[in-house]
């Protein structure tokens, strides 16, 4: 780093972590507003849980918490609400009775699909002004950052339980890690 350059850690300008976090925050708020306005009564974490369970039925609350980046207590509250609303069911694991495995109900799939349509429209608006090539490049570059961070986490033996089983992103029809 040159002496007159500010560290990315000390400046919002040019800070990838801050830009990603801010984009996530703005996207989350906008999706929640649209979902609420449509009368779905779900939050972004509710939708994240439904997404993860749609991709990988039978996850436990602990697995969902790690994958959704919330505490186990928060995930339990989310699952309790989703179950009360009839969007998921939880059943005891046949081998470990204390573990509850969750899956999305038909109603949950329908409500999740409605939420996805709202989110997809918002994502389309967020990408306004970007060409198809730029959209692909943005996803490709973010994917490279994800791959690098996953590699770093593995090399440094970060506690990333179940990381290998997480749903993976698809860029251009190819699976990537």
> In this model, does residue 69 exceed pLDDT 60?
yes
User: Do residues 54 and 43 touch, judged by C-beta distance below 8 A?
Assistant: no
Residue with the bigger pLDDT between 97 and 75: it is 75
Least confident of 80-89, 111-120, 148-157: 148-157
Residue with the bigger pLDDT between 114 and 158: it is 114
Span 8-126: which CATH code?
1.10.10.10
**pTM of the predicted model as reported, rounded to 2 decimal places:** 0.75
Least confident of 4-8, 106-110, 144-148: 4-8
> In this model, does residue 173 exceed pLDDT 50?
no
Q: Which residue has the tokens 């959209």?
A: 135
Q: Helices 72-84 and 61-68: crossing angle, nearest 10°? A: 110
Query: Given this model, what pLDDT does residue 46 score?
Result: 92
Confidence band of 7 (pLDDT split at 50, 70, 90): low
- C-alpha neighbours within 13 Å on the C-beta side of residue 36: 8
> In this model, does residue 132 exceed pLDDT 60?
yes
Estimate to the nearest angstrom the gap between the alpha carbon of 83 and the chain centroid: 20
What is the per-residue pLDDT across 101-130, written as a single tens digit (0 to 9) for each?
Answer: 999 999 999 999 999 999 999 999 999 999
Average pLDDT over residues 39-57: 91
Quote the CA–CA distance of 84 and 18 in Å, as a whole number: 36
Q: Domain boundaries in the chain?
A: 8-126, 136-177
Quote the CA–CA distance of 165 and 143 in Å, as a whole number: 17
């Amino acid at each position: 780093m040159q002496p007159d350059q500010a560290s990315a850690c000390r400046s919002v300008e040019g800070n990838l972590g801050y830009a990603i976090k801010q984009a996530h925050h703005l996207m989350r708020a906008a999706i929640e507003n649209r979902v609420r306005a449509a009368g779905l009564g779900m939050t972004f974490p509710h939708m994240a849980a439904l997404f993860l369970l749609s991709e990988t039925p039978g996850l436990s609350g602990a697995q969902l918490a790690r994958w959704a980046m919330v505490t186990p207590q928060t995930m339990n509250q989310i699952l309790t609400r989703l179950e009360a609303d009839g969007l998921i069911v939880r059943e005891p694991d046949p081998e470990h009775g204390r573990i509850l495995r969750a899956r999305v109900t038909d109603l949950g799939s329908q409500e999740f699909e409605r939420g996805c349509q709202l989110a997809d429209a918002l994502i389309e608006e967020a990408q306004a002004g970007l060409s198809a090539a730029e959209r692909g490049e943005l996803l490709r570059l973010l994917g490279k950052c994800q791959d690098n961070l996953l590699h770093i986490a593995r090399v440094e033996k970060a506690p990333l339980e179940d990381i290998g089983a997480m749903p993976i992103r698809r860029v251009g029809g190819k699976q990537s890690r």
